Amino acid sequence: SQKIEQNSEALNIQEGKTATLTCNYTNYSPAYLQWYRQDPGRGPVFLLLIRENEKEKRKERLKVTFDTTLKQSLFHITASQPADSATYLCARRGNRDDKIIFGKGTRLHILP
């Protein structure tokens, strides 16, 4: 079965540095991967989608990569700020499935 694996340990990054989060998947490459942000007590908020034929996607201070050889996506936040502290979820949908399969998320703490 398809799995999305994220490092569930919290990641502490100094303010101003680049935070890099990792998402690995198993079996065949999904049509695309998505990244969400989730704050405590709230629902996930969509951030970025990257397709398997795209190597990189950017949005303001966010950058996502998709490496089908490594079966991995990296999520970068440059010039990180304390307000970036949250749990970040990686998710996939298959070519035919409509449901989203989420990883457990990585908690990011940006230290002032």
Partner 1 sequence: NAGVMQNPRHLVRRRGQEARLRCSPMKGHSHVYWYRQLPEEGLKFMVYLQKENIIDESGMPKERFSAEFPKEGPSILRIQQVVRGDSAAYFCASRRAGLADNEQFFGPGTRLTVL
Q: Which residue among 13, 21, 32, 92 contacts partner 1 (CB under 8 A)? A: 32
- Residues 77 to 96: which contact partner 1 by CB under 8 A? 89, 93
Length of the chain: 112
Q: Is 1 in the site for partner 1 (CB under 8 A)?
A: no
Q: Tell the smallest beta-carbon distance from residue 26 to partner 1 (Å).
A: 15
Q: Which residue among 11, 24, 74, 102 contacts partner 1 (CB under 8 A)? A: 102
Asked whether 89 and 47 are in contact (CB, 8 A), the reply is no
Q: Which residue has the tokens 């079996």?
A: 27
Q: Tell me the site size for partner 1, rule CB under 8 A.
A: 21
- Residues 39 to 78: which contact partner 1 by CB under 8 A? 41-46, 49
C-alpha dihedral sign at 111, 76, 105, 99: positive
Q: Which residue among 9, 69, 99, 112 contacts partner 1 (CB under 8 A)? A: 99
Q: Tell the smallest beta-carbon distance from residue 97 to partner 1 (Å).
A: 8
Asked whether 28 and 52 are in contact (CB, 8 A), the reply is no
User: Which amino acid is present at 65?
Assistant: T
Q: In whole angstroms, what is the distance from residue 73 CA to residue 68 CA? A: 8
Asked whether 106 and 11 are in contact (CB, 8 A), the reply is yes
Residues found near partner 1 in the complex (CB under 8 A): 4, 31-32, 41-46, 49, 89, 93, 97-105
